[in-house]
Amino acid sequence: MAKRISDEDFIQSWMKHKSPTLVCKELGINQRRVYERRLSIERRLGIALPTDNDTRFTRKKNEVPKHGFRAMKENVKGCVIIGSDGHFWPGERSVAFGAMINLIKELKPSMVIMNGDSFDGARISRHMPGGWASIPTVADELEAVKERHAEIESVVTPEANLIWCAGNHDSRFTSRWAQAAPEYIKVLGFDIVDHFPAWQFCWSIWLNENTIIKHRINQGVHGAYNNVVKSGKNIVTGHTHRLQATMWADYNGLRWGIETGTLSDFGPENDKYAYAEDNPMNWSQGFVVLHFASSGILLEPEFCRVINGAAWFRGQPIPSE
């Protein structure tokens, strides 16, 4: 019989560790149950149980100029790290995400871009889940996304820009309210933007006028090729969960079509992708590292890719803890 954990025991463990991962190890319960218990105690007792790296309300937002839905930044030099499609659920911290945190510490990028779909929105999808799938609540999912983004906030330099290019799954959060209760639109908290004050949201960001980052344009197996040919720019997209680059050269010079893979675990044991019916998935877990020369041109993109459960970058294993 499972040991009963009192509110006092839970609070003591939480204030000691301030980490869902460490609390679940100490108390012997799964992370999803930790999130549920934390939320229940906060609501019933009117207290806050913050995480140790919760910088959401203290980190200054370093904004870049915007023109409508488009963010723009000139004179970008050095390293920019781009991850996407985390689809973060409670109790999950992928190898790719852990490696990204460690490379942010090492490379100190001037900008970290989450290129869409950090939020999954499984319960507010128009698609029905598989019959055996265990789906987290919106509240639990949102807390998981906050925890992962707070990790990024805690390791970037104070001057770094944190950019979130909205994805179709991210948009589920607000779209559901717009459909079910349009009277609440623009009320604080009903837009996903309200929950991530350190991040600048946009549909796309243009760097040095030669590189565009956005969640999706063309898809399909030739998505990267079609994107780079049709856009006339370096173009970085997510959505497909493929991690690759296609070169294109013409009279305008050399440019790249880049796909950013996924920061999520996937496979037959993952309820998140039960809809795939255990079919083969041409996906790759990892993220993209860009480098801009002093002249502002984009150099050849680099990838940190997870292979057989380990993250690799420049021929070296990258720790994920």
Residue 310 gets which letter from DSSP? Answer: E
pLDDT at 115: 98
Q: Are 215 and 166 in contact (CB under 8 A)?
A: yes
CA separation, residue 225 to residues 37, 213, 299 (Å): 47, 15, 18
- Identify whether the C-beta of residue 258 lies closer than 8 Å to the C-beta of residue 236: yes
Residue extents of the structural domains in the chain: 7-45, 66-318
User: What is the pTM (predicted TM-score) of this model?
Assistant: 0.84
State whether the Cα torsion 264-268-271-275 is positive or negative: positive
Q: Give the pLDDT of residue 2.
A: 59
* Cα dist from 284 to 13, 84, 148, 237, 250, whole Å: 36, 12, 20, 14, 29
**What integer pLDDT is reported at residue 111 of this predicted model?**
98
For 288-304, the pLDDT digits (tens) are 999 999 999 999 999 99
80, β-bridge pairs: 111, 290
- Tokens in use for 73? 């930044």
The tens digit of pLDDT for each residue in 140-152 reads: 899 999 999 999 9
Beta-bridge mates of residue 67 = 70
**Tokens 């970058």 sit at which residue?**
313
> What is the reported pLDDT for 56?
47
Write the CB contacts of 48 (distance below 8 Å, at least 6 apart in sequence): 42
Q: What pLDDT is recorded for position 53?
A: 59
Determine whether domain 66-318 maps to CATH 3.60.21.10: yes
pLDDT at 182: 82
Q: Which residues of the chain have pLDDT under 50?
A: 1, 56-57
| pLDDT given at position 127 | 66
